[in-house]
Structure 1
Amino acid sequence: MKSLEIIGYKRANLDKKELAKIREEGSVPCVVYGPGIKEQIHFHSPAILFRDLIYTPEVHMVDLNIEGEVIQAILREAQFHPVSEVLLHADFLAFSDEKPITMEIPVEIHGSSPGIMKGGKLEMKSRTLSVKGLAKNLPDSIPVNISKLELGKSIKVGDISVEGFDIMTSSNVTIATVGIPRALRGKKAGEEEEEI
């Protein structure tokens, strides 16, 4: 899995005035917690460093470089302004190479569906799946093959197999469906009437 570096600077003052000042200066208040960290570390990072982490469908491990101390982490939560959608706060979860972590991994569609070739439309129901495993075993994406997907049929989580990590999302959850367009539905019904 890809990783990127975010440089941070510790902050001791946690009052609202200080938070507003940090945001005005173009930085994002952050916190990191998890295994190997005795107390939460409050820090701030330049907002521009979050572009490749948040505004992308890809997932990344993060090397947090907080004043020279490097902590491996994943982004656990990001809070945005309700109107401007500016990033207001980021929570990071530190992890160790020996303990499994849980995170959302994007689904990547492969193959050509016979249902789509007949005029059906691919409908994505789940764009990410929750997985658990050691960081070194987590993939950039989970491949889903749709080459056997007919009109009106679906692929569920239980239909895919993976190695080295576990999928935590329920096996009954639908990943993708080939929908039957209205025009084809009418045509199908007409054909059935002719057969009668």
Structure 2
Amino acid sequence: MNISLNAQVREHKGKGLRNKAASEGKVPAVVYGQDIDNQLLFVESKDISKILQENGTSQLVNLKVNNDEYKVMIREVQNSPVSKQLLHLDFLKVNLKELIKTIVPVRLEGEPEGLKKGGTLQQHIWEVEVECLPDNMPEAMTADVSDLKLDDGISISALTAIAGVEVLTAADNIVATLVPARVGAAEEEVDGEEEGK
């Protein structure tokens, strides 16, 4: 996936910066890395919001600053605790020849056999830590749940392998289980009886 983001160099920082930037539809940011000096930037709020909404912080971004272009990862996102408005971003320039660690989502694929027998699929792990070269970074790790029967589960070790990508999350952690639907119904009935007492 090719994700690009344009940025503008900013010269100043200070208390009034965020308010001024917000009024102009921009978010202050900084890019840093091993072989570059820290650069203060602005990015368009609508552009970075779309990237975060569609991809989170787990994907490489082609950050274009004037005539330069950097492969970066979004390392920190600061939001207002009240309005949730984006306040500031940190971009880390990556070395394409060095392994990096990052968090990627877990996606379930297929329809479990046990669904036809009244089972309910429950996902317990939604993301895992992986290590890979930046260009090998997956959009997600997938788990095929097609063979799950009632009371079955699938663990991290069953995630579909991707060449050049090592999953660092413990292999025995359970990603998803297929439980009898009646268990959930019974729990609701118990809760209802307790509330009525």
| TM range, smaller chain | 0.7 to 0.9
2:72 matches 1:67: no
Give, as a single letter, the amino acid of the residue that structure 2 aligns with 1:18.
L
Q: Distance in 2 between matches of 1:108 and 1:138?
A: 15
2:38 aligned partner: 40
Secondary structure of the equivalent of 2:16?
helix
Question: Aligned ranges for residues 40-189 of structure 1 at < 5 Å?
Answer: 40-57=38-55, 59-162=58-161, 163-182=163-182
Q: Distance in 1 between matches of 2:21 and 2:53?
A: 21
Q: CA RMSD in A?
A: 2.0
Give, as a single letter, the amino acid of the residue that structure 1 aligns with 2:42.
H
Q: Distance in 2 between matches of 1:66 and 1:117?
A: 53
Where structure 1 has 5 or more consecutive residues not aligned to the other structure, the ranges are 187-196
Shift of 1:141: 1.9
Shift of 1:63: 0.8
Q: Distance in 1 between matches of 2:13 and 2:123?
A: 42
Q: CA offsets per residue over residues 104-142 of structure 1, 9 Å max, x none? A: 222222222122221111111122211110122222222
Identity fraction in percent: 26
When normalised by structure 2's length, the TM-score is 0.84
Shift of 1:73: 0.4
Give, as a single letter, the amino acid of the residue that structure 2 aligns with 1:19.
R
Q: Distance in 2 between matches of 1:18 and 1:185?
A: 53
Contact 1:119 1:184 in 2 (8 A): no
Shift of 1:143: 2.0
Give, as a single letter, the amino acid of the residue that structure 1 aligns with 2:156.
V
The number of residues matched between the two structures is 184
Q: Distance in 2 between matches of 1:179 and 1:50?
A: 39
Give, as a single letter, the amino acid of the residue that structure 1 aligns with 2:19.
A
Shift of 1:77: 2.0
Shift of 1:44: 0.9
1:192 aligned partner: none
Shift of 1:158: 2.1
Q: Decide whether aligned partners of structure 1 residues 74 and 16 sit closer, same or farther in structure 2, where only a CA change above 3 A counts.
A: same
Shift of 1:92: 1.3
When normalised by structure 1's length, the TM-score is 0.84
